[in-house]
A and B are shown apart, each in its own frame.
Chain A
């Protein structure tokens, strides 16, 4: 039996100590009608060799296409040292650091993470991470409503050019708590949130404004104007940002006159494999004045009884296990292992390395955009400056084009037709530092062939 070390003798001796005749007798409090004899629908167990062969076969079946999809999850080179460290048993198989003396490794690395992310986002404090970017935004929205004493509206302004899944998650999470969401349109020319549309909320009461930077289209927003407008209306500002982009962009703590109130985002680009969507980690940073409204775990530095410095979980009274029904959230987890991967990644890259990754990604996307728009029938949709993603329009439906590219081992991007039908046939495509000039050429060449074949048909 895998992973169960007991010998027959062990079992005999243990039952004798308990005073029970058999293991089955230990279940005698359970009504016999509820006890299951067998699990016929579950296949029999496999040895490690057999299961690894099975998984290898399935992996081979899927292969590794050349991928130009971004849309909230980005392929970056993960230094080998990151997962070598993160999968050490002492990190991998440790629990939440409730016994602080036995968890200083985990606690100190969280403190280092909090420091790095607070600085990267230009804010004062950071929590130990949340599940992912989308749920972090949902938590930020709930937090803004709690923290905004001046507003009675529980009304949130969210741009249409925010990641559609983030919008969906915010709605699913907050709808039971009576929040109202208003959608802000974008300028068709630039792809930026429409300041003119925002100004229609002049004189109205809203709790918070969400600003995505870059936005879902990859376009850079006029963050100062948006931030100042919201603050002038007594609303809080929530920034949803890409952490790699922050190496080059002014951090949200410096947006507008006063800086934003809460920052969230997806930490996956920092050392986490794409892994079909998870596990990732959501980051959240904020001002010190809001720290008690911030969900999730937080680590603080303190001293022990002998005056030695050490780290411990703090502000736990906010958390679900203490405040129970009056909790700020029911969150019990931080994405410990992934947050650690992010910390090690940032330590390895440093500010210089991160800047270079960001610059090279921006450069590659510019090259990708040039190469693809050189193909007949492909046009750039938005004029605004972008980071490492771009929206392109095609002269025919996108889905069959992507399918044809897929057959050639290339994932061309995300079809936007269902999410943004007003754009016509459009796709969101991305090139990070992992794409070489040759890769970009392959894509452009394949696209050219696919479109030509489609035209001929």
Chain B
């Protein structure tokens, strides 16, 4: 039975009275400004609220309940200790504009996070304030533009983007007043160097790359790519979406990237939360450090001298060439604390194990699935932390699509992999197991995929009409866009 809307559970006069402060006669709001009609908010008891949202939660697939191999999202286990630490009352209750003097414990955590992120990525400066990966990308491209402007190199407004890039990349370029220029990717998954050489020139501000790429493979000639772009006067931007594949094994700084963003909600296991919050910390090479967004944590004196270390915020005054402030306050501090705790629990060796086991799990799944009869998009390449299967052959032979496979997997107790991204590969599944999944879980997924393949060949209707076991099936998104129903109206009933 479907769960009604909370408004449908409302009854006039009902309320969660324990949450109501006493009535007071407040100073009057000036007459022309007074609200005369109550907003449409529920009138329900506290039990109604708890029961309703608990039941809604039970309609969700999540990492805590299901294997969730969503490629490029890094759905790894979110350690509960991270949440417990970030929600300690002294951290949770601290006002953003509180004096640094009463926030030295908090600032120490952020400073050490900055340091650890620099160490694992090989970058020389870090800012923690961008609020999500896309926000970090914006900061990165803005810094690149600021760098060129500072050298009076005003005509550099082209950002090169591989064909397989995630949609945020060209969108970010245009938000920064740049033009995105696509370059082709070769049949083996690497950027076409000839096409790249032809595309760079005096108008090149930089290139945005993910490595391993969105095709799930390592850009083998990255050093050559870097040379070509740098020689033309452009800078290199690293989209850190796939950092999990190489964490502790390869560092973007060593690959000559000038600016990077990290998705703390992917690689550093902060919660996905049904769509957010994220945190998109940015790292830079030395030449971009003057442009970092503010604020940043600095350490005034060192514990080594015997005096206590003290931390403060750097602002526009300290960084006059900064691209500026990107957030109301200092960023998603609660998310940053979670990432900090995670990194402290992993430590230097744990971080290396992330890249190793994420890669092991992906290669294992790729091997088992191709042995079953699925087609890898790049069979001659090693998988990174993820890999792509193409269902083009099954689509042709059995009349099923990647979407059908995804929906059937839901029935079999798995969240589907990413479908239809990257756009270059038809009927694709992008599969990322992450390092926190056991061999048993992977084997169970392989068994489910075997069943799906059998059904595709013998009873394709099972796939086309999937999912069979969930409360809803194949929602009409055309109708959703044509007949917009975006809010409940009390006349809806």
Contacts and interface: CB of A to CB of B under 8 A. Distances in A.
Determine whether A and B are in direct contact in the complex, meaning some CB atoms lie less than 8 angstroms apart: yes
A352 interface: yes
Contacts of A303: 475-476, 479
**Interface residues on chain A, size class:** 35 or more
A40 B348 contact: yes
Interface in B183-209: none
Interface stretch (B24-32, B229-237, B447-455): B24-32
B68 interface: yes
B103 A26 contact: no
Nearest to B479: A302
B474 interface: yes
A453 B272 CA distance: 51
A321 B172 CA distance: 11
B154 interface: no
A371 interface: no
B353 A4 contact: yes
A358 B222 CA distance: 57
A28 interface: yes
Interface stretch (B114-122, B299-307, B392-400): B114-122
B275 A334 contact: yes
Contacts of A422: none
Interface string B232-252: 000000000000001011110
Interface in B15-60: 15-16, 18-27, 29-30, 32-36, 38-44, 46, 49-50, 52-54, 56-60
B27 A362 contact: yes
B121 to A, nearest CB: 10
Interface in A97-137: 97, 99-106, 108-109, 111-112, 114-116, 118-120, 124-126, 128-129, 131-135
B382 A273 contact: no
A59 B88 contact: yes
B177 A176 contact: yes
B275 A310 contact: no
B488 A75 contact: no
A347 B172 CA distance: 36
Contact of A275 (B52, B135, B273, B333): B333
B35 A248 contact: yes
A131 B90 CA distance: 23
B321 interface: no
B462 interface: no
Interface string B293-332: 1000000000000000000000000000001111111111
A299 interface: yes
B142 to A, nearest CB: 7
Interface stretch (A151-159, A180-188, A338-346, A440-448): A338-346
B493 to A, nearest CB: 12
Contact of A168 (B5, B170, B324, B348): B324
Interface in B342-372: 343-354, 356-357, 359-361, 363-364, 367-368, 371
B425 interface: no
Contact of B347 (A46, A133, A320): A46
B329 A112 contact: no
B424 interface: no
A190 B149 CA distance: 42
A69 B95 contact: yes
Contacts of A279: 131, 276-277, 279, 332-335
A5 B442 CA distance: 12
B137 to A, nearest CB: 7
B397 to A, nearest CB: 24
Interface in B479-493: 479-481, 483-488
Nearest 8 Cβ contacts at the A-B interface: A45-B347, A89-B64, A277-B329, A58-B105, A337-B273, A277-B96, A336-B275, A172-B324
Given A118-B486, A131-B327, A315-B481, 11 more contacts: A36-B248, A36-B250, A55-B88, A247-B39, A249-B34, A310-B472, A331-B132, A335-B276, A350-B15, A351-B41, A406-B99
20 contacts: A3-B435, A18-B363, A27-B382, A30-B220, A42-B348, A51-B85, A57-B105, A63-B102, A71-B97, A88-B54, A101-B470, A176-B176, A275-B92, A275-B93, A301-B486, A301-B488, A314-B486, A336-B277, A347-B6, A352-B15
